[in-house]
Amino acid sequence: MNNQPTAAIVIIGDEILSGRTQDKNVRFLAEKFSNLGILLKEVRIVRDDEEQIITTVNELRKNHTNVITTGGIGATHDDITASSVAKAFGVKLYKDQEAVEMIDKYIKSKNKEPSAGTFLTANVPEGCELIKNAVSGAPGFTIGNVHVLAGIPEIAQSMFQDLSNKLEKGKKFNSCSIKVNIGEGSIIHILSDAQEKHKNIQIGSYPFEEQNNWRTTIVVRGQDLSEVKLVTQELQDIFNKEQIEFTVEG
């Protein structure tokens, strides 16, 4: 996986850290990255704080192929993501005419009148490329390897649909799940041996309770489908030999 494109997500917003709002974007983005062959390596949540946003963006963009931020690009007093990202790159904000036209077109399509803050989201960093937003008109933007999306899930998903066509893609990840009727502590030796043998495959174990007993879901994940199938079959053979009940889920 050395040449695999990587990604980090930065969730921006006091409302997430306060528990007032539950983030829904990470799961969506993680699944999309997996399908595009992009390895998601980090997720961070930061406050609406300029210094923290700048520091986080600058650190992550040096270490990953892509950095996705969500949140803080609306038209309210605490939406500081655009200005903070601009400062991270050492550039200024400017009012982009194409962005103004995108927003204006949406407003007219809804027979609405612009408010005082309507066109604030047209203020984007110099040198950026706009990311289209089919839901509410106001675009996101890409500067360098940082892609800035809205926090509202429906809008973030619309923006990512436009962005995904421009991202460097890798080989798609494949996965298979095995559900065993035993707790993960009892099969740790089996999974450790399998992981040691197949270093290019990710083997995860996830405990859950069912009918007052602990069970485990094992997820075998990798880019080489044949090796994913091989590891899955090897685990099944061991479970059969040790008389451990299991079902293959995918």
| pLDDT for the residue 2 | 58
Mean pLDDT of 54-79: 93
Topology of the domain comprising 6-164:
Molybdenum Cofactor Biosythetic Enzyme; Chain A (3.40.980)
Decide if pLDDT at 148 tops 70.
Answer: yes
Decide if pLDDT at 250 tops 70.
Answer: no
| pLDDT for the residue 118 | 82
| pLDDT for the residue 37 | 94
- Candidates 124, 117, 156; CA nearest to 142 is 124
Decide if pLDDT at 77 tops 80.
Answer: no
Q: Where are the domains of the chain?
A: 6-164, 174-248
Q: 182 with 209: CB under 8 angstroms? A: no
| pLDDT for the residue 111 | 87
Mean pLDDT of 113-139: 91
Decide if pLDDT at 116 tops 80.
Answer: no
Q: What is the CA 96 to chain-centroid distance, rounded?
A: 27
Query: CA 90, 96, 154, 19 torsion: positive or negative?
Result: positive
Q: 129 with 142: CB under 8 angstroms? A: yes
Mean pLDDT of 59-63: 98
SS3 state of residue 203 = strand
Decide if pLDDT at 239 tops 80.
Answer: yes
Superfamily of domain covering 174-248: Ribosomal protein S10 (3.30.70.600)
With a CB cutoff of 8 Å and minimum separation 6, the contacts of 13 are: 21, 45, 47, 48, 71, 72, 151
Measured at the CA of 211, the angle between CA 208 and CA 212, to 5 degrees, comes to 75
pLDDT tens for 227-238 read: 999 999 999 999
pLDDT tens for 150-182 read: 999 999 999 999 999 999 999 999 999 999 999
Measured at the CA of 214, the angle between CA 210 and CA 219, to 5 degrees, comes to 95
pTM above threshold 0.85: yes
Mean pLDDT of 68-73: 96
**Per residue in 42-66, is it b (16+ CB within 10 Å) or e — as a string?**
ebbebbbeeeebbebbebbbeebbb
Report the 10 Å Cβ neighbour count for 8. Answer: 22
Average pLDDT, the chain: 94
CA distance 61 to 44: 13
Mean pLDDT of 45-63: 97
Amino acid identity for residue 16 in this structure: I
pLDDT grade for 66, boundaries at 50, 70 and 90: very high
